[in-house]
Structure 1
Amino acid sequence: MKIVQNYIRESVSILFLSIFLPLFSIASIVFLIKLATYTAVIQLTIFEMAKLFFFMLPELLFYTLPISFFVAITLALFKLSNDNEIVVLFALGIRPKLIIKTVLKPALFLCAILLFNFFVLFPHAKTLSSNFISYKKSEAKFNLSASEFGHKFGEWLLYIGKDNQNETYSDVILFNKKQDEEVLIRAKNAQIINDSGILRLKLTSGEGYSYSDEKFTQINFETMFINDTMKTDLDKYETPMEYWLPEAPSSKKRKMLISNILFSLFPVLSIFLAATIGIVHARHQKGKIYLFMFLGIILYYTLAVTLQLIIGSYALLVLAFGWLLGTYILYKKIIVAKF
């Protein structure tokens, strides 16, 4: 029995890799095209593009692994059927339930990986990606250069006399008009610093003037920081539970949580369907295997999204038990009854 089980697992493994790698490559290209659209707003180096792609890996794996596994099992069983190996196994007294038991363990293992992926890794990667893009956008808002018109830096009007090659500026003047006071600052050099999403203007070797109807003040300084002029909104969370179930209820995250749990369970819930589609009699059946696989995947994912919109968290029980029961009935009538 172990030899038979190992042979079936080996057949599934070979097909799984041959399906997963092209599917993952296609999905990666789609995500890279999506990343390329960010360059219309922000400047990204090759290293930063690679970093963003790395942040998207959990999402890529989450959507490609279960589909690849289902297709691999179905095609592996179909190939064994076409080679008459399945018929030989059944003729030797091996029951179809042995095939189900053989693929059940890797299916459970994959489900555990998918649940960990979306529940733990996905929030962390999504938050890092969102914060990185916000960080780059905040930098893009202050792509300063010398001009006769000047710039707006938070509450300050900023004039730059000269651009330097080392991303610093010379002959900088800032002006801020408040309700009862006006402030004028002049510095020989300036530099933009982005410190954890907080943009700061570092001024060196300058003087500042503050004047109102009542007084006039002058200061000289070697170094001055103008802080908190523009703070980037960064997402924060302590635990995955706080991300998925925050104190302020988020219907979008709750719906995504339900859908992702159902997507994670797809490998286990569709074992009977894979066996029903893949196990055929080579001489009498010309099963439209690719059509049935496509319809099975589309139907499950459509039901997962639709039911969570209609009945909320009850979709977990309804779809899980309903799909498992329905595919088991098909398996009993089509496979067990014949073989």
Structure 2
Amino acid sequence: MGKTRRYILWSFAKAYLLVFLPFLLVVSLIFVIQLSILSSRVNLEFRELVQLFGYMLPEIFFYTVPLSLIAALANTFTRFSEENEFIALFSLGHTPGKVLRFMIPTLLLFTALLLVLSVMLYPQMKQKLNHFKRQKIAEATLNISPNKLSQNFGSYHVFVESKDANDTYRNMVLFNQGTKGAYQLFIAREGRVANDGKRFTLTLRNGTGETSDPKKVENLHYRELDIYQYPRNVYQSIVTSREYWKKALHDKGRRGKLLYLIFVSLTPILAFGIIAALTFYNPRYQRSLSIAVIFITALAVYLPAAILQKSGSVPLFIALVIFLLALGIFLLRRRVLRSF
């Protein structure tokens, strides 16, 4: 019994790695392309690129693990059928039910892994990723280049003549066009930008300014002048996964996303019966249909998942889970347990 279980699981593991590793590479490349698009907007160091990719890993694994599992199960059972290995196992006294039960612990482990990735890690990594993107994009507005027009610091249009090695700007001009004739104009010999974690500060030194409203114009001379910018929604706190999903109680969109993640996480259990029923066959009377089985099973899982994400309906979620489980059991009894 132990040797048979090890042989089946080892065959499945080899098939899984042959599918998972190339699929992981392809999906990772897609996410790397997304990073390259972001890096074209802001300057990212290699360390920051690695950090961002780490935030994406739970989502990458969540996309690759279920589909790889479906393909590996279909390929493993198809090979066993094509090479008459199921018949050999049955001749040794193993029933189809026993052979299938060998896979149950592995499927439960995959389900637990997907639930951890989706329900626990996904919200944390998603918040950190969005926070990082917002902060870098906001900081990108502070990279003021010398002799370049159409640059902004908050509501001010900025022009800089030069920038030295210490990140000090030389000969700056700032202009803010207000409403109804009001405006602000500042000229400074030098300036620096600082980020204290809550706001961005542009400090101007040794300059003059002019402000106006419909009634008067005022001139000023200053030794040091601070202009603040508070980027909107940049410094949001990162909540726990429980607090993140608690919003699903009254937010249909968040609830739909949670139901989608849980439903896809149950793929190992929901898809197992369907795959086994369609890949247990006698090669003398049936041809290999592994590609069709993979497509049908993926459609049977991801189409209802997409509907759940759209609807956010808990009763529909329960109904779909029960339906797919019942369908798998029905097909197993009709096509496998009665025939072998």
TM-score normalised by the chain length of structure 2 = 0.86
List gaps (5 residues or longer) in structure 1: none
Kindly indicate whether the alpha-carbon contact (under 8 Å) linking 2:253 and 2:312 is maintained by their aligned counterparts in 1.
no
* CA positional deviation for 1:128: 1.5
For the residue of structure 2 that corresponds to 1:258, the secondary structure is helix
* CA positional deviation for 1:40: 4.3
Aligned to 2:62: 62
* CA positional deviation for 1:325: 0.5
Q: Say if 2:332 is the partner of 1:298.
A: no
Change in 2 beyond 3 A, CA 1:14/1:187: same
Aligned to 1:252: 253
For the residue of structure 2 that corresponds to 1:146, the secondary structure is coil
Counterpart of 1:136 in structure 2: which amino acid? Answer: K
Change in 2 beyond 3 A, CA 1:258/1:127: same
Aligned to 1:127: 127
Aligned to 1:193: 194
For the residue of structure 1 that corresponds to 2:103, the secondary structure is helix
Counterpart of 1:257 in structure 2: which amino acid? Answer: L
User: How do 1:142-221 residues align onto structure 2 when only pairs under 5 Å count?
Assistant: 142-147=142-147, 151-156=151-156, 158-174=158-174, 187-196=188-197, 198-203=199-204, 206=206, 220-221=223-224
Counterpart of 2:260 in structure 1: which amino acid? Answer: S
Kindly indicate whether the alpha-carbon contact (under 8 Å) linking 1:194 and 1:200 is maintained by their aligned counterparts in 2.
yes
Kindly indicate whether the alpha-carbon contact (under 8 Å) linking 1:198 and 1:231 is maintained by their aligned counterparts in 2.
no
Aligned to 2:274: 273
Counterpart of 1:31 in structure 2: which amino acid? Answer: F
Q: Distance in 1 between matches of 2:95 and 2:167?
A: 73
Deviation string, structure 1 residues 204-235 (Cα, Å, up to 9, x no partner):
x53677889799876545xx643335445344
Deviation string, structure 1 residues 47-77 (Cα, Å, up to 9, x no partner):
4333322221111100110111122122112
Change in 2 beyond 3 A, CA 1:33/1:311: closer
Query: How many aligned residue pairs are there?
Result: 336
List gaps (5 residues or longer) in structure 2: none
For the residue of structure 2 that corresponds to 1:246, the secondary structure is helix
Change in 2 beyond 3 A, CA 1:310/1:227: closer
For the residue of structure 2 that corresponds to 1:285, the secondary structure is coil
* CA positional deviation for 1:131: 1.6
Q: Distance in 2 between matches of 1:309 and 1:247?
A: 13
Deviation string, structure 1 residues 172-214 (Cα, Å, up to 9, x no partner):
35567989x99776654322233436322244x5367788979
Q: Distance in 1 between matches of 2:261 and 2:269?
A: 14
Change in 2 beyond 3 A, CA 1:159/1:271: closer
Change in 2 beyond 3 A, CA 1:188/1:229: farther
Q: Say if 2:38 is the partner of 1:38.
A: yes
For the residue of structure 1 that corresponds to 2:281, the secondary structure is coil
Identity score, percent: 26
* CA positional deviation for 1:161: 3.4
Change in 2 beyond 3 A, CA 1:210/1:307: closer
Q: Distance in 2 between matches of 1:117 and 1:168?
A: 45
Once structures 1 and 2 are overlaid, which stretch shifts more, 38-47 or 258-267? Answer: 38-47
Once structures 1 and 2 are overlaid, which stretch shifts more, 236-245 or 59-68? Answer: 236-245
Q: Distance in 1 between matches of 2:150 and 2:300?
A: 58
Counterpart of 1:78 in structure 2: which amino acid? Answer: T
Q: Distance in 2 between matches of 1:318 and 1:211?
A: 66
Q: Distance in 1 between matches of 2:120 and 2:139?
A: 29
TM-score normalised by the chain length of structure 1 = 0.86
Kindly indicate whether the alpha-carbon contact (under 8 Å) linking 1:172 and 1:188 is maintained by their aligned counterparts in 2.
yes
Change in 2 beyond 3 A, CA 1:185/1:109: same
For the residue of structure 2 that corresponds to 1:238, the secondary structure is coil
Change in 2 beyond 3 A, CA 1:330/1:35: same
Aligned to 1:89: 89
Change in 2 beyond 3 A, CA 1:277/1:225: same
Q: Distance in 2 between matches of 1:157 and 1:264?
A: 50
Q: Distance in 1 between matches of 2:307 and 2:159?
A: 55
Once structures 1 and 2 are overlaid, which stretch shifts more, 129-138 or 21-30? Answer: 129-138
Kindly indicate whether the alpha-carbon contact (under 8 Å) linking 1:210 and 1:218 is maintained by their aligned counterparts in 2.
no
Change in 2 beyond 3 A, CA 1:173/1:312: same
Kindly indicate whether the alpha-carbon contact (under 8 Å) linking 2:259 and 2:308 is maintained by their aligned counterparts in 1.
no
* CA positional deviation for 1:141: 2.4
* CA positional deviation for 1:276: 1.3
* CA positional deviation for 1:5: 0.8
* CA positional deviation for 1:300: 1.8
Change in 2 beyond 3 A, CA 1:210/1:315: same
Aligned to 1:2: 2
